[in-house]
Amino acid sequence: MEVVISSTPDEAGKLAADAIEELIRRRPEAVLGVATGSSPLLIYDELGRRVAEDSVSLAKARAFMLDEYVGLPEEHPQRYLSVIRDEFVDKVDVDPAQVSGPDGLAADLATACEVYERAIAEAGGIDLQILGIGTDGHIAFNEPGSSLASRTRIKTLTGQTRRDNARFFGGNVDAVPRHCLTQGIGTILEARHIVLVASGRRKAEAVHQLVEGPVSAMWPATALQLHPHVTVLLDTAAASRLQLASYYIETFQGKPSWQGF
Ligand code: GLP
């Protein structure tokens, strides 16, 4: 796991965009894993700028989302498919038909999860997965207690996640759905490269557990310690509880310029 501590969230967003740009240059038809939440927004903004400047193109790329609320109507602005359209698809030149998520409106949700797993596999798997982290250490919507081998399935959101996400629903926690479909931890671990971004002091404990805690279903993000290629991009506030922060900084500063992520 490579841990990079930047002085600002902006800088972390640029580093994530660098990793994506490098992948797309190598493999224009790459499969990206895209995440919702506020953390990846700086990445999407930066990618949008680079696409506008013609320095990169996502025209041949595909993207799969991590998760979706169950039951939010198609026109709901917080439906994750709408969020990804507004925050990612509309800013870059990816083909909207090549961006998909689990179907939270399916009559048969269990089958929708299987269909989604198959679609990812048929696309050849995810080359680079962007991830945020919840204050309780969740990744996608894999809440504490999730099986570290889980696949895409229905989950019940914790009170903490619903309170955290109420800000997107006008502050009304009752408007936040109770259920979601989410890629499992086992699904996420199959991505070839995982880039997790986190900023702010509220994430510091979850980040400490992710990087330095014991692997445990109580902090689902700790499963990433089992993956051979994870990049964790932090601002100083999110890194504030890391015991080995100075070692991570020294390692990154001493990294040869030819060695990318
Ligand atoms: C939601 C999403 C996660 C995201 C998390 C953190 O619960 N399902 O994928 O990582 O929020 O969001 P934020 O980056 O806004 O703190």
CA 9, 223, 244 angle in degrees (round to 5)?
A: 55
pLDDT band at 232 (very low <50, low <70, confident <90, very high): very high
Inter-residue contact 63 to 34 (CB < 8 Å) = yes
Q: Is 250 marked active-site?
A: no
Inter-residue contact 187 to 117 (CB < 8 Å) = yes
Q: Which residues pair with 31 in a beta bridge?
A: 62
Instruction: Give me the catalytic one of 21, 127, 138, 235.
Output: 138
> How far away, in angstroms, is 176 Cα from ligand 1 center?
13
Q: Is 136 marked active-site?
A: yes
> How far away, in angstroms, is 209 Cα from ligand 1 center?
17
pLDDT 10s digits, 86-119:
999 999 999 999 999 999 999 999 999 999 999 9
In this predicted structure, the answer to whether residue 257 has a pLDDT above a threshold of 90 is: no
Residues 56 and 233: their CA atoms lie apart, in Å, by 21
Q: Which residues pair with 233 in a beta bridge?
A: 4, 197
Residues 233 and 249: their CA atoms lie apart, in Å, by 12
pLDDT of residue 28: 98
Q: Which residues pair with 129 in a beta bridge?
A: 33, 194
Residues 101 and 99: their CA atoms lie apart, in Å, by 7
Q: How far apart are the first and last CA of the chain?
A: 11
pLDDT band at 146 (very low <50, low <70, confident <90, very high): very high
CA 5, 214, 16 angle in degrees (round to 5)?
A: 30
Q: Is 143 marked active-site?
A: yes
Q: Which residue's C-alpha comes closest to atom 9 of ligand 1?
A: 140
